[in-house]
Amino acid sequence: MKLEYDLDIYLEKIKNNNSYFHTFINKDSLAAGVLVLKPGEEDTQTPHDSDEVYYIISGNGFLKIKDKDYKVSQDKLFFVAKNVEHCFHGNTKELKVLYFFGGPDS
């Protein structure tokens, strides 16, 4: 079982693929991954089956949770309950986010 993770590897995978996120831990009780949005790129995620926490590594913009926009910036943390509409938007710099699910990435 892998116990150590290097985010640079997963950021490189995103750069070389057609996706803006990569889940690198996906267990029944926990999932974790990294998301990278370039300025103007659309966040197409839909509500998840598990609660989620986002940690902002770098960048700017907003996280819309339900109908409210929250300003994102480095080192902020956000909680999004399961089945709640949410998306990142409005970033003028590349946005890098670490995410955690309280269950599998579904």
Contacts of 8 (CB under 8 A, 6+ apart): none
Q: How many Å apart are CA 1 and CA 63, to the nearest integer?
A: 33
CATH 2.60.120.10, domain 7-101, yes or no? yes
Query: In this structure, how many other beta carbons lie within 10 angstroms of the beta carbon of residue 102?
Result: 15
Phi, psi torsion values for 13, nearest 5 degrees = -60, -40
Query: What is the pLDDT, as a whole number, of residue 29?
Result: 95
Here the tokens at position 61 are: 């913009």
Q: How many Å apart are CA 15 and CA 67, to the nearest integer?
A: 31
Spell out the domain ranges in the chain: 7-101
Give the pLDDT confidence of 54-83 residue by residue, as tens digits.
999 999 999 999 999 999 999 999 999 999
From first to last of its 106 residues, what are the pLDDT tens digits of the chain?
A: 789 999 999 999 999 998 999 999 999 999 999 999 999 999 999 999 999 999 999 999 999 999 999 999 999 999 999 999 999 999 999 999 999 999 998 7
